[in-house]
Amino acid sequence: MNHMNPLDDIALGAWTRLRNLIGALDRVDRLETAREFDGWLQQFSPDENALDATIREFLLRALRLVGDPLNFQILAQLNANQGATMTELLAETRLSRVDLTERVNEMARAGLTVQPLEQDKIEATPFALGLLELLAQIHAQIKTHAQNDYLINPKAKMPKPANMPKHALSKVEGMPKMPN
């Protein structure tokens, strides 16, 4: 995994999973006798809006899964131990076997976990590891801001208005416009 830029791992991991899903759908459609989806891939491929919507939905789904505290705990354990068995995850999470299996399977469908056929260990994918690394980097930056803020750290100096970022001076100027 590229620890310098987790975006590369996220982008490649997400595309790899999306590509596999799209390829599988195309193979299934070509094998089916029904013709209702004939040509969908040829129509989908050049449609940038469809591709953008698919990528956005895929990323938001993955972020929702990683953002769930138990899923985050599972992925963090997989990362720390280079994988884990269901038994190890059951002991760590205290979930029922059914609940844990459903969570792991849902994360697998989103491209966040994988269980190699020759192993009984579940592993976090580079996509999941990239998301974990990105969250760790954001966490570290927030912590640095907090530690350098006079509200949290009495030894820190109060910033002068001239040194404050423009967005901190005015709610109107600093607030991004929300899409309609």
**What is residue 36's three-state secondary structure?**
coil
Q: pLDDT band at 175, cuts 50/70/90?
A: very low
Per-residue HEC secondary structure of 103-166 comes to: HHHHHHHCCCEECCCCCCCEEECHHHHHHHHHHHHHHHHHHHHHHCCCCCCCCCCCCCHHHCCH
User: Cα–Cα–Cα angle for 114, 117, 119, nearest 5°?
Assistant: 85
Least confident of 22-26, 41-45, 86-90, 137-141: 41-45
What pLDDT is recorded for position 131?
96
What pLDDT is recorded for position 33?
65
What's the mean per-residue pLDDT of the chain? 85
* Closest to 100 measured CA to CA, from 88, 111, 109: 88
Calculate the alpha carbon distances from 142 to 56, 89, 135, 136, 148 in Å: 25, 30, 10, 10, 10
What pLDDT is recorded for position 2?
46
Question: pLDDT, tens digit, for every residue of 55-96?
Answer: 999 999 999 999 999 999 999 999 999 999 999 999 999 999
pLDDT of residue 54 exceeding 80, the answer is yes
Q: What is the pTM of this model?
A: 0.77
Domains, in order of start, for the chain: 6-127 (1.10.10.10), 132-173 (no CATH)
Structure tokens that stand for 47 in this block: 């449609």
Written as one letter, the residue type at 148 is N
What pLDDT is recorded for position 15?
93
pLDDT of residue 101 exceeding 50, the answer is yes
Query: Rounded to whole angstroms, how far apart are CA atoms 110 and 90?
Result: 21
